[in-house]
Amino acid sequence: MIFKTLKLTQPRPDVELHISGTGIREEMRPSIIDRPQGTGDRLLMFFHDPVMLEIDDRIRQYPANTLMLWEDGTGHYYGNPEHRWRHSWIHFHGRSAAALLAENSFAAGSPLIFARPGVMEEYLLNIYKELTGAYVPDTVILKNLFHCMLREMDRTIRETAGPAIPERIFRAKAFIEKNQTGKITLQQLAAVSRLSVPHFCAEFKKWFGVSPVEYQLRIRFELAKYLLGNRNLNITEIAAQAGSGDIFQFSKMFSKRAGQSPSAFRNTLR
């Protein structure tokens, strides 16, 4: 599903941060967008498909997963004249915009590869909901979402400076984390990644060092340790909340990992 809203306004020097609009996976027919004067604000755009960009008066093709930032007052030239293409974007301006971008090492006019578009898309969706919801958009919420988006994108760029972890494998990892206490099959995870089960398992272990099943068990173990700090919960309740309906299997799993029973571990927390 594509989400898009845009209401361009004349930038005002007294505004701390104004977000004019955002788009998520907007699909375009084969075309080139050429705005020599830009739109008067800053534009951060991610291209899901190969794209033509004009940088320093030179037009060349860049690969899918290219991220581009345009400063206010600069022209925009982008698109693909031969194929349909998708892009996600956000228009913004304001006093704090430059500081937030500099703080997170975003350089205007310098395309770079961003390997995890889901990071950007999640924040763009929340910004979209705030801009288009039933209430008047809250400027504090918008600023916090925008700032957190830049920080997490910056962290992702720095962490993936080496070989990029495929986005499809991150989707499966996020699926496990979201459903950490539920029953998840390898077939489900492989479908999320659009891979066969053997290929998915091999890819997941290659990038994260453990199997998908082991990764979920580790998350459950950490959750169980946290829940054991709440003395209003008995061991049976904790086992259920940590994804195990069998108290004996839970105790066995916990003891194997912690080197002591859940009750003994709870006593160490006093």
Sequential pLDDT tens for the chain (270 residues): 578 888 877 777 778 899 999 999 999 999 999 999 999 899 999 999 999 999 888 999 999 989 999 998 899 999 999 999 999 999 999 888 888 888 877 788 889 888 888 889 999 999 999 999 888 999 999 999 999 999 999 888 877 655 567 778 888 988 998 888 888 999 999 999 999 999 999 999 988 888 999 999 988 998 898 898 888 889 999 999 888 878 898 999 899 988 999 999 888 876
Q: How many angstroms separate the CA atoms of 256 and 268, rounded?
A: 17
Q: Are residues 65 and 140 in the same domain?
A: yes
Can you give the residue range of the structural domain that contains 190? Answer: 167-268
Q: How many angstroms separate the CA atoms of 35 and 32, rounded?
A: 10
107 burial class (0-12, 13-18, 19+ CB within 10 angstroms)?
Answer: exposed
Report the pLDDT value the prediction gives residue 76, as an integer from 0 to 100: 95
Q: Are residues 92 and 184 in the same domain?
A: no
Report the pLDDT value the prediction gives residue 28, as an integer from 0 to 100: 94
Of the residues 132, 159, 186, the one at which a domain ends: 159
Q: How many angstroms separate the CA atoms of 15 and 255, rounded?
A: 57
How big is the chain, counted in residues?
Answer: 270
Q: Are residues 119 and 96 in the same domain?
A: yes
Query: Could you give the 3-state DSSP secondary structure of residue 67?
Result: strand
Q: Are residues 259 and 188 in the same domain?
A: yes
Q: How many angstroms separate the CA atoms of 98 and 75, rounded?
A: 18
Q: Are residues 15 and 107 in the same domain?
A: yes
Report the pLDDT value the prediction gives residue 12, as an integer from 0 to 100: 73
Q: Are residues 31 and 110 in the same domain?
A: yes
Report the pLDDT value the prediction gives residue 83, as an integer from 0 to 100: 93
Q: What angle do CA 28, 68, 132 make, to 5 degrees?
A: 60
Of the residues 159, 185, 204, the one at which a domain ends: 159
Q: How many angstroms separate the CA atoms of 244 and 226, rounded?
A: 15
Report the pLDDT value the prediction gives residue 132, as an integer from 0 to 100: 93
Q: Are residues 191 and 230 in the same domain?
A: yes
12 vs 8, 41, 74, 223, CA distance in Å? 12, 10, 17, 48
Q: Are residues 119 and 47 in the same domain?
A: yes
Q: Are residues 49 and 25 in the same domain?
A: yes
Q: Give the CATH number of the domain where residue 223 resides.
A: 1.10.10.60
Report the pLDDT value the prediction gives residue 95, as an integer from 0 to 100: 85
Of the residues 111, 127, 159, the one at which a domain ends: 159
Q: Are residues 76 and 202 in the same domain?
A: no
Q: Are residues 98 and 152 in the same domain?
A: yes
- Based on the structure, what is the number of domains in the chain? 2
Report the pLDDT value the prediction gives residue 62, as an integer from 0 to 100: 92
Q: Are residues 149 and 172 in the same domain?
A: no
Answering whether pTM is above 0.75, one says no
Q: How many angstroms separate the CA atoms of 157 and 117, rounded?
A: 11
